[in-house]
Amino acid sequence: MKYDVIIIGGGPSGLMASIAAGEKGANVLLVDKGEKLGRKLAISGGGRCNVTNRLSIDEIIKHIPGNGRFLYSAFSEFNNEDIINFFEKLGVELKEEDHGRMFPVNNSAQSVVDALLERMNSLKITIYKNSPVAEVLYENDKTAGVLLKDGQTFKAGSVVVAVGGKSVPQTGSTGDGYAWAKKAGHTITELFPTEVPVTSNEPFIKDKSLQGLALRDVALSVLNVKGKPLITHRMDMLFTHFGISGPAVLRCSQFVVKELKKANSQTVTMKIDALPDANKEEVFQDVIKLLKEDPKKAVKNSLKGLLPERYLHFLLEKSGIDLQEQSGHLAHEKVRRFAELCKDFQFTVTGTHSIEKAFVTGGGVSVKEIHPKEMGSKLMPGLYFCGEILDIHGYTGGYNITSALVTGRLAGMNAALYAKGHS
Ligand SMILES: Cc1cc2nc3c(=O)[nH]c(=O)nc-3n(C[C@H](O)[C@H](O)[C@H](O)COP(=O)(O)OP(=O)(O)OC[C@H]3O[C@@H](n4cnc5c(N)ncnc54)[C@H](O)[C@@H]3O)c2cc1C
């Protein structure tokens, strides 16, 4: 059986690609190795499916630190607002939450996946589940079809590779596509974990003294060897039994990975500014004022509410301050040290969890070898890529899914046009 277009992978990019190809009138086959389609999509955004983000295109690009700029041309064809219209037309009402994140009103990830599947059904797209692809076939320097692991071969005018990265392999994304891309001559840039918790061997991590403590709205930075911040993210973070996690940490994680490599070191330094709205002097003066209010009170009581209690006690102890000491007796240099630590608590981290445990895979098929408006290979006619297999990675918050849906849309549409033009 020959199809116009074969899509490999039923994640957001592949589902969207199949719909775009179907809407162009192509005869489409979508194959996925799993029993269910859209498994990762269904667990994204805390299980509510963060379908896209409503910030401006420039902001979206900024939130895609891995080759976001490559998407400018794609966004001129299909962008986040088009995604919103697309889902609303399918009957999925969306709502905007913090930081522009868009979710289905009913908070049901499955309703998003179901709407995509219904649309595929109405376009009569053939779906093969439980059908792992072993290879993409190339003949006479053109894409020719796919070979399934069970030995079946399907011919096609074009093939869209939408198999995702290597993260969370239990959702089906096991990095199968890189070998097929390489065979077509593509460069795979180095793969690395991003949006991933960070590990640390600091004594306060090892002894679990801060485990479970969440810090709200802090400025977390990754420092280079000279002590200068490479990146700062102001969000929440969490101390865990292995290191740190939470939104600010996930966003900083790729900079930890890169700096470890660049500095060729076992550790990288990070810093927490727990009071980012005030400078050091202001913090110092505020603390002095609080201590003076009731000089007989124990320090820990005078400063209650300045920081979450466990963190307050931790920093007081680090400053050499006895928690029970009378506020009026505290030496100014100790208060200065404490104010400094509130603004600049530095600690070392050793790396991150593995790529398999990361939310997102960094690196992938080099975007230099992909036509930015079509998602077609510059090296192999009839071959298209979309989604996380590409060397594009964003922060969590709907940016990766936006990239997957936009690149999927273009890949599917152009794969259909190519196949029909060459049949
Ligand atoms: C827990 C979690 C939360 C996340 N939250 C967010 C978030 O809030 N915002 C955000 O932007 N991103 C988030 N992401 C990332 C986002 O979900 C992914 O970037 C996105 O799903 C990638 O889409 P994709 O279509 O490229 O690949 P995937 O969704 O990985 O889909 C790939 C598909 O290909 C199939 N496949 C693989 N190999 C083969 C093969 N050999 N043969 C046949 N089929 C194959 C797989 O079975 C799978 O169905 C999250 C990820 C995780 C794990």
Q: Are 187 and 201 part of one and the same domain?
A: no
In a domain, 208, yes or no: yes
In a domain, 357, yes or no: no
Report the separation in Å between the CA atom of 187 and the middle of ligand 1, taken as the mean of its atom positions.
21
In a domain, 397, yes or no: yes
pLDDT, position 67: 98
Instruction: Give the pLDDT mean for 377-399.
Output: 97
Q: pLDDT per residue over 215-240, tens digit each?
A: 999 999 999 999 999 999 999 999 99
Q: Are 54 and 185 part of one and the same domain?
A: yes
Verify whether ligand 1 is closer than 6 Å to residue 193 (CB atom): no
Quote the number of domains for the chain: 2
Give the CATH number of the domain where residue 15 resides: 3.50.50.60
Model confidence at 420, in pLDDT bands (50, 70, 90)? Answer: very high
CA–CA gap between residue 312 and residue 393 (Å, rounded): 36
Asked whether residue 423 carries a pLDDT value surpassing 80, the answer given is: no
Domain interval for residue 269: 197-352
What's the pTM? 0.95
Q: Are 226 and 265 part of one and the same domain?
A: yes
Q: Are 227 and 139 part of one and the same domain?
A: no
Instruction: Give the pLDDT mean for 274-302.
Output: 96
Q: Are 23 and 81 part of one and the same domain?
A: yes
Q: Are 236 and 330 part of one and the same domain?
A: yes
Name the nearest CA neighbour of 395 among 274, 212, 233.
233
Last residue of a domain, one of 331, 352, 373: 352
Verify whether ligand 1 is closer than 6 Å to residue 157 (CB atom): no
Model confidence at 83, in pLDDT bands (50, 70, 90)? Answer: very high
In a domain, 44, yes or no: yes
Instruction: Give the pLDDT mean for 388-408.
Output: 96
Verify whether ligand 1 is closer than 6 Å to residue 387 (CB atom): yes
DSSP-assigned letters across all residues of 79-132: -HHHHHHHHHHTT--EEE-GGGEEEETT--HHHHHHHHHHHHHHTT-EEE-S--
CA–CA gap between residue 412 and residue 415 (Å, rounded): 5
The pLDDT > 70 percentage for the chain reads 100
In a domain, 321, yes or no: yes
List the structure tokens of 361. 């895979």
The answer to whether the CB of 290 falls within 8 A of the CB of 303 is yes
Q: Are 240 and 187 part of one and the same domain?
A: no
Q: pLDDT per residue over 26-56, tens digit each?
A: 999 999 999 999 999 999 888 899 999 999 9
pLDDT, position 391: 98
Mean of per-residue pLDDT scores for the chain:
96
Verify whether ligand 1 is closer than 6 Å to residue 176 (CB atom): yes
Last residue of a domain, one of 319, 352, 385: 352
Asked whether residue 140 carries a pLDDT value surpassing 90, the answer given is: yes
Instruction: Give the pLDDT mean for 64-77.
Output: 97
Verify whether ligand 1 is closer than 6 Å to residue 80 (CB atom): no
In a domain, 179, yes or no: yes
Q: Are 203 and 180 part of one and the same domain?
A: no
Q: Are 166 and 241 part of one and the same domain?
A: no
List the structure tokens of 30. 């979508």
The answer to whether the CB of 378 falls within 8 A of the CB of 372 is no
pLDDT, position 404: 98
Verify whether ligand 1 is closer than 6 Å to residue 34 (CB atom): yes
Report the separation in Å between the CA atom of 325 and the middle of ligand 1, taken as the mean of its atom positions.
54
Q: Are 203 and 185 part of one and the same domain?
A: no
pLDDT, position 153: 97
Instruction: Give the pLDDT mean for 379-404.
Output: 97
The 3-class secondary structure across 355-405, one letter per residue, is HHHCCEEECCECHHHECCCCCEECCCCCEEECHHHECCECCCCCHHHHHHH
Model confidence at 138, in pLDDT bands (50, 70, 90)? Answer: very high
Asked whether residue 306 carries a pLDDT value surpassing 90, the answer given is: yes
In a domain, 90, yes or no: yes
Q: Are 50 and 147 part of one and the same domain?
A: yes
Report the separation in Å between the CA atom of 320 and the middle of ligand 1, taken as the mean of its atom positions.
48
In a domain, 27, yes or no: yes
Report the separation in Å between the CA atom of 52 and the middle of ligand 1, taken as the mean of its atom positions.
14
Last residue of a domain, one of 352, 370, 390: 352
Report the separation in Å between the CA atom of 173 and the middle of ligand 1, taken as the mean of its atom positions.
6
Q: Are 167 and 186 part of one and the same domain?
A: yes
